[in-house]
Amino acid sequence: MQFPGGPAVDPAGSHHERRIRSFRPRRGRVTAGQGEALRRLWHQWGLDIDGQRVLDLGELFGDPEMPVVLEIGFGMGEATAHMAAADPGTGILAADVHTPGQGNLLGLAERNGLSNIRVANGDAIILLREMIAPEALAGLRVFFPDPWPKKRHHKRRLIQREFIELAVTRLKPGALVHCATDWEPYAEQMLEVLSAESALENTQPDGGYAPRPAFDGPAGRPLTKFEGAGLDKGHSVHDLLFVRR
């Protein structure tokens, strides 16, 4: 293991079926600071998605009353850290497969005293299906997932009917589902899939996209470097906000 006591390369191993994945596992180049954070902090704030147990979220965050939001795909973690700081009463279970980002987010959490972040390493579908209890989550965030732009790769997109059908079973009534993308065709697919799920209700009376939530607390979304780069290229960003009935 590159980081003893840190995230596993393949946490679920052969315990679960092989299927088309919506992500590419990425170890990437880890800086000295990121590696140090992984070695020191993983045992405290990190977990591998092995699919072998159901998580007690109250125990995981040290507060049985704390609402927990699942964020899938956090990049380098800057936006996640901002959201955690703005809403310290909400736990963020942040799942990704990008090792440098995992180390970076752990470092940000430590430097900023953010005890409401936990970093999960591995397949978010296995996390939802095997490790999250029904109606355990207060929200789901999926910001700028891989758009898989080529038509032959559309089956790899995360926001599909089967994924949403699974996700809503893990959400409490009133939980907020917040998705965002700067890829127009994927935004259309997200809107179609989320609108078709009977357990979800669009927060927009016209049934369309939501205005970009101002970053002022739990419902906000800070500008990410990825989003800024897309805006510089002239991309339009679409937010989708749905509530679990």
Any idea how long the chain is? 245
Burial of 228 (0-12, 13-18, 19+ CB in 10 A): exposed
Q: Which long-range contacts (CB under 8 A, 24 or more apart) does 224-227 make?
A: 224/75, 224/78, 224/79, 224/143, 224/144, 225/75, 225/76, 225/78, 226/75, 226/144, 227/143, 227/144, 227/180, 227/182
* Active-site choice (48, 50, 96, 146): 146
Q: Cα 10 to the chain's mean position, in Å?
A: 18
Burial of 66 (0-12, 13-18, 19+ CB in 10 A): middle
Q: In what order do the strands lie in the sheet with 200-202?
A: 46-48, 117-121, 91-96, 68-72, 137-143, 171-181, 238-244, 200-202
Helices (H) then strands (E): counts for the chain: 8, 8
SS3 53: coil
Active site residue 56: no
**Is the Cα dihedral 185, 194, 86, 67 positive or negative?**
negative
Judge contact between 124 and 95, C-beta under 8 A.
yes
* Residues designated catalytic: 146
